[in-house]
Amino acid sequence: MTVVQAVELIAVGFVAGLVSVLVSLASLVSFPALLGMGLMPVAANVTNTVALIFTGVGATAGSRTELAGTWRVTLRLGLIAAVGGALGAVLLLVAPASTFQLVVPFLIGGASVFLLAQPYLARRWQDSSGRARVLRTRLLGTLLFAAAIYAGYFGAAGGILILAILSAMFPEWSPQQANAVKSVTSMCANGAAAIGFAFYGPVHWAFVFPLALGFLLGGRVGPVVARRLPSNSLRVIAAGCGIALAVKFAV
């Protein structure tokens, strides 16, 4: 690791952290950068996951306003995500990450369309019966657990999946609130996966530290930028980027 590479990783991490908060696509910036510096795909994946924790740390510190009044729910969601992320890490260590290759475009594309339709669905759901709401909440909780497994296992656009599910679970939240809770929830999934990778995965720690510093700074600045965006633009931008990514993966 040279000084130039360290500076480059800090810059990459800052951009990726900012992108993570705004459109939930940090790995599209950081993962290729690690590959370009000579890491093998699995090593780049686990190294990136370990460093990604610090995006959540920075975003949580910068989102105290949006997280006010949601901490009890956020901690419960974080626990679900942590268990799912740990399971995903185990799957990655025993099975190739290419297992999800065929379904990734559909996962990301479906979540992005779901995110775009969320305001319409929220209006429909408000008119549904109490029993239907309970069943829907349980279903969405199961989907959140599955999304956390995906985040720990493969991770590309995992934040979009989690954001789409949270937006559906809590339609009363603003896009900024849902995005802030998404950052914490994703951090829990990544953190649980990172613990497993630290002990059993090929983590390149020399790359982790500068990348993590960049993630921390980008994650801290991201909520400040998101707060200044019009209410629904954050949701539309994230969904649009997700659809573009799904098309790219499909091709």
Q: Name the more confident of 231 and 150.
A: 150
- pLDDT of 83 strictly over 90: yes
pLDDT on residue 130: 64
Q: How confident is the model at residue 73 (pLDDT cuts 50, 70, 90)?
A: very high
C-beta atoms surrounding 157 within 10 Å: 29
What pTM was estimated for this model as a whole? 0.81
Does pLDDT of 30 surpass 90? no
Question: For the chain, which residues make up each domain, given as ranges?
Answer: 3-250
